[in-house]
Structure 1
Amino acid sequence: MAQALLASESATQLRAQHFQTQPQQTILSVRQLCKAYSGQQKRVLENLSFDLHAGEMVAVIGRSGAGKSTLLHVMNGTIPASEGQILRYPAQHDGGQGDTQDILRFSSRQMRQWRSECGMIFQDFCLVPRLDVLTNVLLGRLSRTSTLKSFFKLFSDEDRAHAIGLLQWMNLLPHALQRAENLSGGQMQRVAICRALMQNPKILLADEPVASLDPKNTRRIMDVLRQVSDNGITVVVNLHSVELVKEYCTRAIGIAQGRILFDGPPSELTDSLLRTLYGDDLQPVH
């Protein structure tokens, strides 16, 4: 087991070195991002700036309350920012044509389109318990399907084939017609990932996706997220476990009190820096 972990960390370090030394396509830039809630003097996010590149697997780390979840929700557009910019760049497969856009200035229609490009999964899965697994996955097409068709579950044959393919990839096809509420936690999270991938996203945001899972299912989910990253989709994941960060992620962004204290390869996370980030919460949480 120890040898396997070392081999995995070594492979991750090689991927991290590739992202550091080779020119990468920037897909998103966060600039001077701030977030403050009404009635609170202290900002939750304070002047955050960083770039995201295609195919990166980036961990956002820090103790509870540091601002990690808020950052992901602001990036997804579900929480409005107070100041700053989040710049979306034209995709290379579109020929790099088009203007750079600030998603914080998007109209409601533009924001809906952005959320279809920026998938998100959550610690509590956010499935519809009484719907079957296949329908839950198909709900990932809501942003690209009319409300009337969605209400009557009138999804296209192409969408159904895509959903079935994702479930097969996740070894969940035998559960396709079961209610989501009858699945285990690990199975629910895999369904949630399938639903997010139904959007054909360029970025996948994962807000503490393994916090409520046992060690076996934790690694299963992290393996899946790494495969997603290997397929060119940028993955940004909030994690508490430093061990998982070093094993799976090519980059870590460390946040404390809403500020970035570290942005670099996980191999450079020193004990001193981790103590600054986590304080008394330093022990990894699985």
Structure 2
Amino acid sequence: MRGAGRFVRVDGVPLHVVVEGRGPVCVLSAGLAMAWFDWDAVAALLVAAGRTVVRFDRPGHGLSGPAAEPPTAAGEARRIAGLLDALGLPGDLPGGRDEAGRVTVVGHSIAGFHAEAFARLYPERTAGVVLVDSSVEEAPRALLPVGVRTGLARGVGRAVSAVGLPAAFGPLARRVTVRASRTGGSDPAARDLVRRVYRTGRVWRGALLENARYVDVAGEVLALRDVRPLTASATVLAGHCGSDLRWLARQAELADRLGARFEVAGPAGHLVMLDRPDQVARAVLDADQLRV
């Protein structure tokens, strides 16, 4: 599925977004350095099931503009809210109004932090949250001060762009990473899209900046859990291919802490949406059934 994308400015950054289908709204946000097209198979299933699917690229990812500021959990939650506002969603949709006026937000990997933050900070706008092989940090701590990490990320990003590494190795790095992160084979993304996205230094810089602030975002989410209850239905969907039982246990512990349903998608690597799009779509639809 290759729906027509558009650009919507949120907090001063042009965000690339693809909106498809009609019906209750689902927002899909991919993990570090991933793009909107990594949800193609999941989006197709959700559209066929009568859902409006919103896929967007965070700043510095996909086709979106570069990040103006380092990411925070609250900032990414606000970005989702701002994107929905700019799109006028939920609202009077071609297929009928979502009476609850709420969305199901889906976060993969590091975007699981963002999805959870949105659900906690905007409970009146959240019907459900689905965390797909989400990042988990029980006690995040950094070895270097935040300013040093941020400065290093920006410096390295500028350096790799200046010497032409993204143009030379970006698509290859994407292909190798995807193959190593799934059980179902090679990268299914169209080569022209991969070249268009991953040959740019902007994407490398965006990924480095998100990674540099990873522990800070994780700590922010942990703090939110103490003060902002999770009132929406939640599902933790973990990928499993028969190994790394410790990771599976951590995902189950996350579900227990959140009071969420725990499901296992398998066989699947970390990129569950590529290996088992059917199970991801089913988890979203099951969460959607709990709208009130």
How does the TM-score come out when normalised to structure 2?
0.28
Q: Which structure has the larger Rg over C-alpha atoms?
A: 1
User: Taking CA–CA contacts closer than 8 Å with sequence separation of 6 or more, which of the two structures ends up with the larger relative contact order?
Assistant: 1
